[in-house]
Amino acid sequence: MSVRTALTVPRLRRLDPLGALLAGAGAVAAVFLPFVVLKSNRIVPGDPRGLLDALPAWGALGCQAVLICAAIAALGVSNARVRLGAALLGVAAVALAVAAAGDALTPAGNKVVRVAPGAGFWVLLMCLGLMATDAVTRMRPGPGLRVLFLALSIVVAGLALAHGTFDHLSVMREYAVNADRFAREARQHVWLALGSLAAAVLVALPIGILCHRVPRLRSGVLGTLNVIQTIPAIALFGILMVPLAALAAAVPLAAALGIRGIGAAPAAVALFLYSLLPIAANTVAGLKRVPRAAVEAARGMGMTSWQILTGIELILALPVILTGIRIVLVQNIGMVTVAALIGGGGLGTFVFQGIGQTAIDLVLLGAIPIVALAFSAAVVLDALAEVLDRARQ
């Protein structure tokens, strides 16, 4: 079905229920909710503006035309590709409209006035995002295609940011003020998440192998790791701060290495501890899945225990282990946020500063990249695990 026939002959006999829901919510948002909020400075409540008051007439009309097309596609088109295309066009239109509203409403040279996306923008974005997600889910893209989608989205978003499309929006204003700190905290965030993951893999893999080989240990060891997992992050940070402070005081070398009661050290240790369970448990589960016959055959061919482990068992268990690593990485990226509370840095710094100042723009400056990071990590590692799992069969 071509796009044209799809749009000109909508099959309204079978109204898509999800589409109806989304189109309805989107229409209400577009008409009644403020598209942007104009604030005279960064923390005061603002002055709501609808789509028509925020944009030059041609911009508002163009944006509305695209949204109406998307709504028609949502209501009456069943082809998933067409729906995805319409949803993505809608996202682009809404994004450009909010950027244009920023440009139009900001007086030239004024650095105090803030133009923030309003509830209408967020609801529209959510509806279009749901429509796109639904279309992608129906298309069941393979792992390669999913990563490609992700890469394309990152490139497009990156180009728009580099080009300065959104520079007049409040979040980007916050970024402009905090640019060098942002780079540093982002690096610290990734570093904490990946570093603790790497250390945990080194330790949890042998633990998992041991638990697999010695079933007697299994419930005790995994049970203990599970107990650690249930302790809330900030509580574990607190519990670790005291011994680490003592260590720094007693061993000058530790202090010289940057270990202190407060800061990144307790965060890193806690994240490391949290990461142990998913990796160890999945290693055990993955090894359990290895067919006995394969191991017997290898033994029959005279492979040593070490050769069997590295050449057969771990290879076959890899997809499951990778699933554990995915869980840990996503979990760590989220949990590093809390590290900011104890001076551990990371993007959480902006989140908690933002909370403290009730500056939602600052919160978003921290939260959006965190979610984007976690989401990207999940997509990439899921795809990797799926590819490996297919290769296995």
Partner 1 sequence: MPGMAAILRLAALALLLGFLLMPQSFAPLFTPLTQYGAPPIYDQGNLLTLALAHLGVVCCAAAASTLVAVGLGILVTRPSGAQFLPLSRTLVNIGQTFPPVAVLAVTVPLVGFGEKPTLIALFAYGLLPIFENTIVGLQTCPPQVLEAASGMGMSARQRLLSVELPLALPLILEGIRLSLVINVGTATIGSTVAAKGLGEVIIAGLLSNNNAFILQGGLVTGLMAILLYDALAGLERRICRTAHLE
User: Judged by CB under 8 A, does residue 366 bind partner 1?
Assistant: yes
Of residues 212 through 231, those in contact with partner 1 by CB under 8 A are: 219, 227, 230-231
- Least separation in angstroms between residue 160's CB and partner 1 is 22
Nearer to partner 1, 8 or 230 (CB): 230
Among residues 4, 8, 13, 17, the one that binds partner 1 under rule CB under 8 A = 17
Q: Does 245 bind partner 1 (CB under 8 A)?
A: yes
Helices 170-213 and 264-289 pack at an angle, to 10 degrees, of 50
Q: Does 364 bind partner 1 (CB under 8 A)?
A: yes
Q: Which stretch binds partner 1 (CB under 8 A): 87-95, 204-212, 296-304, 331-339?
A: 331-339
3-class DSSP string for the chain: CCHHHHHHCCCCCCCCHHHHHHHHHHHHHHHHCCCEEEECCCCCCCEEECHHHHCCHHHHHHHHHHHHHHHHHHHHCCCHHHHHHHHHHHHHHHHHHHHHHHHHHCCCCCCCCEEEECHHHHHHHHHHHHHHHHHHHHHCCCHHHHHHHHHHHHHHHHHHHHHCCCCCEHHHHHHHHHHHHHHHHHHHHHHHHHHHHHHHHHHHHHHHHHHHHCHHHHHHHHHHHHHHHHCCHHHHHHHHHHHHHHHHHHCHHHHHCCCCCCCHHHHHHHHHHHHHHHHHHHHHHHHHHCCHHHHHHHHHCCCCHHHHHHHHHHHHHHHHHHHHHHHHHHHHHHHHHHHHHHCCCCCHHHHHHHHHCCCHHHHHHHHHHHHHHHHHHHHHHHHHHHHHHHHHC
Q: Does 90 bind partner 1 (CB under 8 A)?
A: no
**CB 9 → partner 1: shortest distance, Å?**
22
Site string for partner 1, 120-139 (x = CB under 8 A): ----------x--xx-xxx-
Q: Is 118 in the site for partner 1 (CB under 8 A)?
A: no
Q: Which of 115, 338, 384, 385 binds partner 1 (CB under 8 A)?
A: 338
Rounded least distance, CB 37 to partner 1, Å: 11
Residue 229: count of CB within 10 angstroms of its CB: 16
Report if residue 289 touches partner 1, rule: CB under 8 A: no
Q: Is 337 in the site for partner 1 (CB under 8 A)?
A: yes
Among 234, 254, 295, 387, binds partner 1 (CB under 8 A): 234
Q: Does the footprint of partner 1 cover residue 194 (CB under 8 A)?
A: no
Using the rule CB under 8 A, give the single segment among 91-99, 303-311, 317-325, 332-340 that binds partner 1: 332-340
- Which one, 287 or 335, has the nearer CB to partner 1? 335
| Least distance (Å) between residue 65 CB and partner 1 | 26
Residues 257-286 that bind partner 1 (CB under 8 A): 261
Is residue 367 part of the contact set for partner 1 (CB under 8 A)? yes
In degrees rounded to 5, what are phi and psi of residue 343? 80, 20
Residue ranges in contact with partner 1 by CB under 8 A: 17-18, 130, 133-134, 136-138, 219, 227, 230-239, 241-242, 245, 261, 330, 333-335, 337-338, 341-342, 348, 351-352, 354-356, 358-360, 363-364, 366-367, 370-371, 374-375, 377-378
